Amino acid sequence: MGNIGCMFNCHYCQNWKTSQVKYLEDRDVHYYTPEQVVDTAVRHGIRCISWTYNDPVVWHEFILDTAHLAKQAGLINQYKSAFYITSEAIDELLPYIDIFSISLKSLDEDYYRKITKGSLQPVLNGIKQVYDAGKHLELSTLMIADISDNEETAMKISDWMMENLDSTVPLHFVRFHPDYKMQDTIRTPVDRLIRAREVAMERGIEHVYLGNVVNTPFTNTFCRNCGHKLVDRFGLNAKITGLDDRGYCTSCGHDAHVKLFSKNKPVPTTDNPELSGYDIRTFDWHGDIVSLHIQLKNNTDEEIKIYHRRRNQDGKYNLWTMVFLIPDESFRLILSKSCNEEIGPEVAIPQGIPNNFHEVFDRAHFPTISIEEGK
Ligand code: SF4
């Protein structure tokens, strides 16, 4: 879930059309109550609400209300933030948020002043407060080409983590793409991210991942004792391959520092739906575009079914997955390439249902311009 506005104004923001309110368009705003958010998650079998896209700090009260209800409904809350926030506000979040994924952009005060328009120390204080409270914590650092994608950034952040947190807190080095006020530059070269990962591991951090990079071993989780692959990732997809129910390595029994959700609620699938009265839309993955948002609005007074399936190079298809939308429901599906053999999704939508396809450039990108309108 994302909202409007941010306490920062980062030059590179990939969600500037929603984080910087002057660029917002009314059509991108949909209204929900806390009860509707939780009901939507429960109905769709979603087990974790991630507060993300713009920065959750700016809609603190709504998040507190909703996260409280979500916990009562057995859901997990994840808070993905640049964390320029007061200690009192963190105290209010701690009872309800299960996962804090915090963006630590740099350890350089000048960087924060110039590029984000904020400051560093409150972010560091907040991270420490969450860590001391014993919450699940992960840090991520956007590696901006020729500005922060260097060994010094990796070294300073790792050393700060080893001094103030511990070696088991996961660290993500995230690939940057040119956006907003920083369009006149390049996408971060992957070899610089790989080098940053090596540096962080040499300094003692145990779980270091690359972000916004698809199809690389460095997004997987490996056992740090025996090297067995524990979680296999491709883009936004993850598959557990070597963990037992407690989150330990199935090969050597080592604690992998992984907390597992309860088992998946089965996703409704079918191989032969009745599709008369449906429009079929296809999309081909291409270049860096390996995820798609599909914005839908059920403008009827009946429940409707949407279907989607993966198309593969060998001409074969996966089963159709069903999604039910209640009357008046506004919903965004995220589809994401899951292996090299997959060429793109096929989506079946009842005729007359408003829908827009949006290409997603990177994982926390919330696109507002549809394919039909341009890129
Ligand atoms: S990059 Fe994140 S913290 Fe910076 S302006 Fe955008 S939403 Fe806010």
Cα 120 to ligand 1 centre (Å): 14
Alpha-carbon distance 91 to 93, whole Å?
Answer: 6
Considering just the CA atoms, what is the radius of gyration of the chain in Å?
21
- pLDDT greater than 90 at residue 100: yes
- Are the C-beta atoms of residues 99 and 79 closer than 8 Å to each other? yes
Residue type for position 237? N
Cβ-based burial of 130 (10 A; exposed 0-12, middle 13-18, buried ≥19) = buried
User: The domain that contains 187 carries what CATH number?
Assistant: 3.20.20.70
- Ligand 1 centroid–CA 316 distance in Å is 41
What are the pLDDT digits (tens) for 188-201?
A: 999 999 999 999 99
> Reduced to 3 states, what is the DSSP secondary structure of residue 39?
helix
Quick check: CB of 82 below 6 Å from ligand 1?
Answer: yes
Closest ligand 1 atom, CA of 16?
Answer: 6
State which residues form the domain around 96: 16-219
Ligand 1 mean position, distance from CA 108 (Å): 17
Is 72 exposed, middle or buried, given 0-12, 13-18 or 19+ CB atoms closer than 10 A? Answer: exposed
pLDDT band at 264 (very low <50, low <70, confident <90, very high): low
Q: Does 74 map to a domain?
A: yes
Q: Within this chain, do residues 137 and 286 fall inside the same structural domain, yes or no?
A: no
> Do residue 63 and residue 192 come from a single domain?
yes
Mutate to test the pocket of ligand 1, among 1, 11, 15 (most ligand atoms within 8 A of CB): 15
15 Cβ closer than 6 Å to some ligand 1 atom:
yes
The residue whose CA has the least distance to atom 1 of ligand 1 is 13
With 90 as the cut, is the pLDDT of residue 266 above it? no
User: Domain check: are 184 and 234 in the same one?
Assistant: no
What is the domain-level CATH number for residue 349?
A: 2.60.290
Alpha-carbon span 209 to 196, nearest angstrom? 10
168 and 225 belong to one structural domain: no
Query: Within this chain, do residues 63 and 39 fall inside the same structural domain, yes or no?
Result: yes
**Ligand 1 centroid from CA 31, angstroms:** 22
- Number of domain units in the chain: 3
Verify whether ligand 1 is closer than 6 Å to residue 13 (CB atom). Answer: yes
Please give the average per-residue pLDDT across 147-166, as a whole number: 98
Query: What is the number of helices (H) and of strands (E) in the chain?
Result: 8, 17
pLDDT attached to residue 28: 84
Q: Is the pLDDT of residue 184 over 80?
A: yes
Please write the tens of the pLDDT for every residue from 317-361.
999 999 999 999 999 999 999 999 999 999 999 999 999 999 999
CA atoms of 25 and 55, how far apart (whole Å): 18
With 70 as the cut, is the pLDDT of residue 209 above it?
yes
Res. 375: pLDDT tops 80: no
* pLDDT for residue 290: 95
Residues 231-242 have pLDDT tens digits of: 999 999 999 999
Specify the higher pLDDT residue, 133 or 259: 133
* Average pLDDT value for residue range 358-374: 90
| Same domain membership, residue 98 and residue 178 | yes
Residue ID of nearest Cα to ligand 1 atom 7: 54
- Answer yes or no: is 7 within a domain: no
> Given the CA of residue 6, which atom of ligand 1 is nearest to it?
8
- Does residue 297 register a pLDDT over 70? yes
Nearest CA to ligand 1 atom 6: 13
Distance 112 CA to ligand 1 centre (A): 12
- 194 and 307 housed in the same domain: no
Q: Is the minimum distance from the CB of 6 to ligand 1 under 6 angstroms?
A: yes
Ligand 1 contact, 8 CB (< 6 A): yes
CA within 13 Å, CB half, 226: 14
Per-residue confidence (pLDDT) for residue 170, from 0 to 100: 97
Contacts 24+ apart (CB under 8 A), 123-129: 123/82, 123/83, 123/84, 124/160, 124/164, 125/87, 126/83, 126/84, 126/85, 126/87, 126/90, 126/102, 127/83, 127/102, 127/164, 127/165, 128/164, 128/165, 129/87, 129/90
In a domain, residue 115? The reply is: yes
Check residue 215 and give its pLDDT. 84
Nearest 5°: CA angle at 306, between 304 and 308?
170
